[in-house]
Amino acid sequence: MTGILNIQLSPVIGKKEVNLNKVEYFIKKNSDKKLDLVVLPEFFSTGVSHDAFLNAPEDELGGKTVEFIQGLAKQYNTNIIAGTVIEKSGEKLYNTSFAIDRTGNIVAKYRKIHLFNYMGGTEGERITPGNEEIVVDFDFGKVGIGVCFDIRYPLHYKKLAKMGAEIIVLPTAWIVPPEIYDDEESLKYAQEMWIAMNRTRAYDNMVYVVSSNQTGKISPEIGGAIGNSVVISPTAQVLANAKDKQCAVYADIDLKAVNYLKSIYPIASID
């Protein structure tokens, strides 16, 4: 069995040290479990704020933020998908997820391909899209990486599955505007749709899906993050759901199930 720890945060905007300490708290709290993979949300260290993450981007190795996470990976003997940070490379900014192994080494990084440029989103005005899908060969299995809005692109997931991914992780800051966040019925519908998308991506590709989201109100202007960080099985079963709390949820998963299901249903070869 493979142990997955999925961390859901309400980051304090612009307070990196506070947010990094939250990450350490949840890993330490669950360190008695079998930790093969820890997944963190998009913008886990800064929160969602143009000023917070654009005025102080990290370098191509993730700066002090990723250095801190590398230390946690080594200390707690776990692999970590370090959500995302804003990475500066030359004059360009990327929304980048770092994959870190148990020894604290950066083994891969994924630059978000599908930027949120719709319904008022302006991510592409500041961030350069990546151009390469990534599957990481960790010591327990193969992990594909997407970020947030990538979930709206089924062929992105399809390609990761064809590349051999057994798990696809999705660091996320899935936000809805105030008129939805502040309306109970509308928020419930948005959360149900979010879970449905995750279940569909898992079922279509016969992979586990681990989506790590932010939760809680961000500001009256922006709205709030809808939470519901989930671990989904290849048969679309919700194995763990953080709902609306700042917390970590744990699931034991069986990667043999992925190979078995793909031997019955040739998903990766169906276009």
Over residues 207-223, the mean pLDDT reads: 93
State the average pLDDT for the chain: 93
Per-residue tokens: 208: 């586990």
Euclidean distance between the first and the last CA atom of the chain, given in angstroms as a whole number: 30
Nearest Cα to 98, choosing from 109, 90, 86, 112? 109
The CATH number for 2-269, chosen from 3.40.50.720, 3.60.110.10, 3.90.550.10, 3.30.2350.10, is: 3.60.110.10
Confidence of residue 117 (pLDDT cuts 50, 70, 90): low
Q: What's the pTM? A: 0.95
Give the start-to-end residue ranges of the domains of the chain. 2-269
Give the pLDDT confidence score for residue 24 in this predicted structure: 98
pLDDT recorded at residue 124: 55
From CA 91, how far away is CA 78, in angstroms rounded? Answer: 33
Beta bridge partners of 208: 167
Residue 122 has pLDDT above 70, yes or no: no
pLDDT bucket at 255, cuts 50 / 70 / 90: very high
Question: Do the Cβ atoms of 86 and 94 come closer than 8 Å?
Answer: yes
What pLDDT is attached to residue 125?
Answer: 72
Which residue, chain included where needed, has tokens 């949820």?
Answer: 249
Higher pLDDT, 221 or 22: 22
CA distance 219 to 91: 30
Element at 7 (helix H, strand E)? strand 2-8
Mean pLDDT of 114-126: 69
pLDDT band at 48 (very low <50, low <70, confident <90, very high): confident
Contact in structure between 229 and 41 (CB atoms under 8 Å): yes
Residue 238: which residues within 8 A CB-CB, separation 6 or more? Answer: 195, 199, 230, 231, 232
> What is the per-residue pLDDT for 222?
86
**Interval 241-265 mean pLDDT:** 94
Residues 6+ apart with CB under 8 A from 119: none
pLDDT in tens, 59-108: 999 999 999 999 999 999 999 999 999 999 998 999 999 999 999 999 99
Segment 102-120 shows an average pLDDT of: 88
Rounded distance between C-alpha atoms, residue 72 and residue 262, angstroms: 34
The percentage of residues in the chain with a pLDDT greater than 90, rounded to a whole number, is: 83
Q: What percent of the chain has pLDDT over 70?
A: 95
CA separation for the pair 244, 188 (Å, rounded): 11
Over 90: is that where the pLDDT of 54 sits? no
- Supply the pLDDT for residue 118: 62
d(CA 75, CA 92): 33
Mean pLDDT (whole number) for 171-181: 95
One-letter amino acid identity for 102? R
